[in-house]
Each structure stands twice: as structure tokens, then as C-alpha cells.
């Protein structure tokens, strides 16, 4: 039998001599698991080490490598110290240990907590471990968020990366100190804007002088940064200048918490409203004095231009990209005509061939293609017949929602019961044997209920999707059939994005790709 040994370092027991060394925890896991494999007379196919990764991180490189080897049947057994070293998520326990591993012919064994997928009798025990691990992740996430929020509210810098112009103080955690070389560029940007230069002009000046942009500067100086490198990311852009001029951290105020994670299971972040940002004044030495800051802010406010005339948002604002570099085209005006142009090309002509198109031409192209789509693919009579079933959807949805609500309340009762049992076991009120016996009934009922809830949710999603499609088609047909001009609302609703290429100098044609949102 070929065995794959999986080891993972949990962040709370980190103990490294250097960044290059495996942790002592990993070494101990290896030794224990190798010895166990030898005692079982199993052949070790490979050892997979994920050092400095949490049990809820689905992007662990060695974790995903062992899953691929399991799927390819390169191994017969996955061996771990504990089930939680492999995963702390109940979803992944069900997906792999109880779902895909049996299909692939893979046996999962963890030696400390006696989890073994060849032993069908301890399936519920594995599920309970997964449930408790899930609670652990959730509680840990809440605790970490609370601690970070407290530090932010006390004016400490929290983050993996320092703002351009500053560096982290090696002698005092959470404090920023000025980086003289980068700070001089920041001052130059503010002074140029105060002297009347525009944001794109400033970007062009910095690029012409060969001054590396913030990402490239950090890379050249060995400073930790997040952005990937490509030809266009090395240039100063309009957005980088704009963000810098609006950032009050340059006057010594700490502003954090602009983004928040979607959930404790995801590393994806989403913007928070400005009212929820955490702001603390005078936390670090300012690069820009208050007088210059106020001059720049007044000019920014005075120079703000809507994307079109009449104070309205531009027709295609943030919807049109350069086909060459992928950046959003910016609006411009020449002799009372409005255009969209590539800012990368204007900042550095060698970096991008650029895209340039009149808004009038683009609107005409979109209207022509939209009318063509409507006339070709949408049959009015057919949709009218389909709309007659609309009333049935609401009745079915109401019934499903009522059943789901009752089931979810019952499921919460099961979870509370399980958690109460676990706490009784920890306090010594009940024995391990009694805990296992009682929790099996809870777990069996909860498991059956989860399946029913999943089925009902799937049915509800399907109903809502069908209803939404019917409603959406009807509304769009009634509103947009035989249109002659576009509005901003129509662009928002109908178009995901548009890619525009450079005009062919020989044929005079310009490549335009419209990505519809329906």
C-alpha cells in the first residue's frame, strides 16, 4: 500500500529556528507518521508539508498536491497526525473523506484521534470532530478580528504592507516611519499638483524621469508588496496619483479598515462604507504639511470634473477597457466632441499601443448590435405565453420558504444540543462514552435534516432563477426593443464591459467587443 504523509504547521504552535527551516512541529509530525507507516508495512510514496498555513486555507499548495495524487491513484492512503491537520472544515470532511476518497479508493487515517475511513462505525465521530473544528475556526476568526480592531482604534498600523513613503518601524511594532527616498517623490507629487499640473501629466513626468512606481520601488528595495509584475504595472498611472493626493495618512493620520473579509472561510475582501473606516489622528510623522494638504484638497474639489457635461455620470464610465493593456478608458473632450482614451498610452506610449474612440461612434455600435440581438433571438409571442405561469412561482416559493424556516430552526436546536453536550464532556459532567452515544442521535438527525435543507434550498434557487429569467426578459424586451439611443441606466443593466482596440491604419476599422450582462 502506498501512503502519502501530510503534515501541516498550525499557526498557534509555530516554532522556527529560521524562515528556511521546517518547524519543530513539522519535524515531530514527520517522525511520528513515518514510524507509524513503517509499523503498518506501508510504502511511503511522498511527504507533503504545508508550513505556515491554517487548516481552513483551501489554497495550501501541498494539500492540493496530495489531493491530485489521490485522484490520480498514485497513493492508496493519506496519513495525518490528526484530522484537523488535514482540514478544519466540515464541508471538506464531507466532500473528501466521505465523498470523493471512497470513489477514488483512498483510505484516510489520522493516528492521534483514530479517524479511519475504513472504519464505518466512526464516521459520526469524524463528523463531530469536523463540527468542533469549524466552531474553533469561527471563534478564532472573531477573536483575531476583535484584537485587530482594538489595535487599529488605538492608532497602531495593522497590515502586511506599508504605505508608499513610509516603512515599518523595526523597533516598534505597529508604527510607521518615513522612508526618505519615497517620501521625496510623494512631496514632489503634491507640489506639482499644487502648481497646476494634472494627474496624468504628473504620471507622465515621473515616468519620463525614470522614477519607479510604488510597486516597482518596493520590489527594487526588497520591501514586501502584493502586486504581480508585468510591463504595465511598472508605470505611474492616473489612479496612483489620485489615490496619493486623497490619502490623509500623508499628514500623519492613520486611516484603516477600508476593507473587510466576506467570511472567516474566505480571504476575499470587499470595500466598507467610509462611515465604518477607523481613523486616528497624529499617529506618525507627516510627509505633507497641513498647509500644502489643504491647498491640494481645495484644488481637487475645484478641479473635479464629471465624466460628461450637465453634471451627469458618463454614458460608458468604467465600462470600457483597452483591448491591449486592459485598463479602463478615460473620458476626454476635443472641440466639443467626447472621446474615450487609454491612460496607459498617454502616460507612456511605449507601454501600450492605446485605444481611442468617440463616445458617439461607440454608442451607435452598441445600439445597432443590441437591436440586432433583440430581433434575432427574442420572440415576443413565446415570452407572452411563458409569462402566464408567473403567478405560480410566488405560491411555490412561499411554501418552500416556510418549510425551510422550520427546518433551519430545528437544525439550530440540534447544533446547540451538540455544543452543550461537548461542553458537558469538557467539564466532566458526562463521560466520553455517554457523550458519543448521545451525540450520535443528534448527529444522525442533523445530517438527515441538512440533506433536506439542501434540497429545499436548491429548489428555491431554481424557482427564483426561472422567475428572474422570465421577468428579466420581459422587462428588457418592453424597455429596449427598437431603441435609438442609450442611457446610463441601460448601459449599467445591459453591459458587463466593452473592449476597444486601436484603429487599423490601413482598413480604418476598429475592433470592438461587447460583453453583455444578460
Instruction: Write the pLDDT tens digit of every residue in 62-89.
Output: 999 999 999 999 999 999 988 888 887 7
Write down the architecture of domain 154-303 according to CATH: Alpha-Beta Complex (3.90)
Determine the pLDDT at residue 133: 60
Angle formed by the axes of helices 432-480 and 390-427, to 10°? 160
CA distance 365 to 362: 5
Q: Which residues contact 161 (CB under 8 A, 6 or more apart)?
A: 218, 224, 225, 226
Is domain 2-118 given the CATH code 3.40.50.920 in the classification? no
CA distance 177 to 167: 5
Tell which residue, 306, 307, 321, 325, has the closest CA to residue 357.
Answer: 321
Determine the pLDDT at residue 19: 46
Residue 252 near residue 166 (C-beta atoms within 8 A): no
- β-pairing verdict for 278-280 and 107-110: unpaired
Tell which residue, 187, 191, 178, has the closest CA to residue 252.
Answer: 178
Q: Which residue has the cell 466540515?
A: 90
What DSSP assignment string belongs to 26-71? HHHHHHHHHHHHHHTT-EEEEEEEETT--TT-TT-HHHHHHHHHHH
Residue 415 near residue 453 (C-beta atoms within 8 A): no
CA distance 17 to 246: 43
Determine the pLDDT at residue 312: 45
What is the signed CA dihedral for 20, 24, 25, 29, rounded to 10 degrees?
100
What is the signed CA dihedral for 360, 362, 365, 366, rounded to 10 degrees?
-110
CA distance 449 to 443: 10
C-alpha cell at 79: 496519513
Determine the pLDDT at residue 506: 80
Question: DSSP character for 328?
Answer: B
**Residues counted in the chain:** 518
Q: Is 422 helix (H, G, I), strand (E, B) or coil?
A: helix
How far, in Å, are 24, 307, 469 from residue 200 at the CA level?
53, 15, 43
Residue 516 near residue 499 (C-beta atoms within 8 A): no
The total of other beta-carbon atoms located within 10 Å of residue 128's CB is 21
Determine the pLDDT at residue 10: 66
Determine the pLDDT at residue 382: 46
Residue 403 near residue 410 (C-beta atoms within 8 A): no
Determine the pLDDT at residue 384: 47
Ranges of each domain in the chain: 2-118, 154-303, 309-378+491-516, 384-480
Residue 19 near residue 26 (C-beta atoms within 8 A): no
With a cut of 70, list the residues of the chain below it in pLDDT. 10-25, 121-149, 152, 225-233, 259-270, 303-313, 344-351, 376-395, 411, 414-415, 418-419, 421-422, 435, 437-448, 460, 462-479, 481, 518
CA distance 169 to 506: 58
- β-pairing verdict for 2-8 and 77-80: parallel
Residue 329 near residue 322 (C-beta atoms within 8 A): yes
Amino acid at each position: 500500500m502506498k501512503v502519502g504523509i501530510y503534515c501541516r504547521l498550525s499557526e498557534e504552535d509555530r516554532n522556527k529556528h529560521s524562515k528556511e527551516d521546517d518547524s519543530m512541529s513539522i519535524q515531530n509530525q514527520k517522525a511520528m507518521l513515518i514510524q507509524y507507516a513503517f509499523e503498518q508495512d506501508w510504502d511511503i510514496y511522498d511527504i507533503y508539508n504545508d508550513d505556515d498555513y491554517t487548516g481552513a486555507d483551501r489554497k495550501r499548495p501541498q494539500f492540493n498536491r496530495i489531493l491530485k495524487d489521490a485522484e490520480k491513484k498514485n497513493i492508496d492512503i493519506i496519513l495525518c497526525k490528526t484530522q484537523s491537520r488535514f482540514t478544519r472544515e466540515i464541508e471538506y470532511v464531507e466532500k473528501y473523506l466521505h465523498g470523493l476518497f471512497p470513489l477514488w479508493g483512498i483510505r484516510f487515517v489520522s493516528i492521534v484521534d483514530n479517524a479511519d475511513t475504513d472504519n464505518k462505525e466512526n464516521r459520526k465521530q469524524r463528523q463531530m470532530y469536523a463540527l468542533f473544528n469549524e466552531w474553533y475556526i469561527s471563534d478564532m476568526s472573531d477573536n483575531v478580528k476583535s484584537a485587530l480592531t482594538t489595535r487599529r482604534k488605538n492608532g497602531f498600523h495593522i497590515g502586511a504592507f506599508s504605505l508608499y513613503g513610509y516603512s515599518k518601524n523595526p523597533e516598534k511594532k505597529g508604527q510607521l516611519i518615513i522612508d526618505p527616498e519615497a517620501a521625496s517623490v510623494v512631496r514632489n507629487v503634491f507640489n506639482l499638483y499644487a502648481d497646476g499640473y494634472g494627474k496624468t501629466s504628473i504620471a507622465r513626468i515621473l515616468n519620463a524621469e525614470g522614477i519607479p512606481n510604488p510597486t516597482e520601488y518596493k520590489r527594487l528595495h526588497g520591501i514586501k508588496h502584493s502586486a504581480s509584475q508585468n510591463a504595465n504595472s511598472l508605470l505611474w498611472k492616473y489612479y496612483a496619483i489620485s489615490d496619493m493626493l486623497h490619502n490623509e495618512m500623508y499628514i500623519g493620520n492613520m486611516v484603516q479598515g477600508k476593507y473587510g473579509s466576506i467570511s472567516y472561510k474566505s480571504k476575499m475582501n470587499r470595500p466598507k462604507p467610509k462611515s465604518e473606516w477607523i481613523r486616528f489622528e497624529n499617529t506618525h510623522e507627516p510627509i505633507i504639511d497641513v498647509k500644502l494638504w489643504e491647498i491640494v484638497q481645495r484644488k481637487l474639489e475645484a478641479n473635479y470634473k464629471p465624466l460628461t457635461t450637465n453634471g451627469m455620470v458618463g454614458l460608458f464610465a468604467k465600462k470600457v477597457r483597452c483591448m491591449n493593456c486592459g485598463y479602463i478608458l478615460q473620458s476626454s473632450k476635443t472641440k466639443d466632441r467626447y472621446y474615450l482614451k487609454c491612460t496607459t498610452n498617454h502616460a507612456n506610449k511605449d507601454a501600450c499601443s492605446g485605444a481611442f474612440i468617440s463616445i458617439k461612434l461607440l454608442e451607435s455600435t452598441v445600439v445597432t448590435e443590441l437591436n440586432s440581438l433583440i430581433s434575432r433571438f427574442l420572440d415576443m409571442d413565446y415570452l407572452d405565453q411563458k409569462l402566464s405561469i408567473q403567478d405560480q412561482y410566488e405560491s411555490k416559493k412561499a411554501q418552500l420558504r416556510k418549510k425551510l424556516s422550520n427546518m433551519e430552526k430545528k437544525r439550530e436546536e440540534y447544533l446547540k444540543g451538540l455544543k452543550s453536550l461537548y461542553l458537558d464532556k469538557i467539564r466532566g459532567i458526562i463521560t466520553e462514552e455517554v457523550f458519543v452515544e448521545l451525540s450520535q442521535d443528534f448527529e444522525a438527525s442533523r445530517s438527515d435534516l441538512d440533506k433536506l435543507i439542501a434540497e429545499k434550498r436548491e429548489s428555491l434557487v431554481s424557482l427564483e432563477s426561472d422567475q428572474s429569467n422570465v421577468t428579466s426578459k420581459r422587462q428588457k424586451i418592453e424597455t429596449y426593443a427598437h431603441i435609438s439611443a442609450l442611457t446610463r441606466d441601460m448601459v449599467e443593466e445591459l453591459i458587463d464591459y466593452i473592449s476597444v482596440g486601436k484603429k487599423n491604419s490601413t482598413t480604418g476599422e476598429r475592433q470592438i467587443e461587447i460583453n453583455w450582462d444578460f
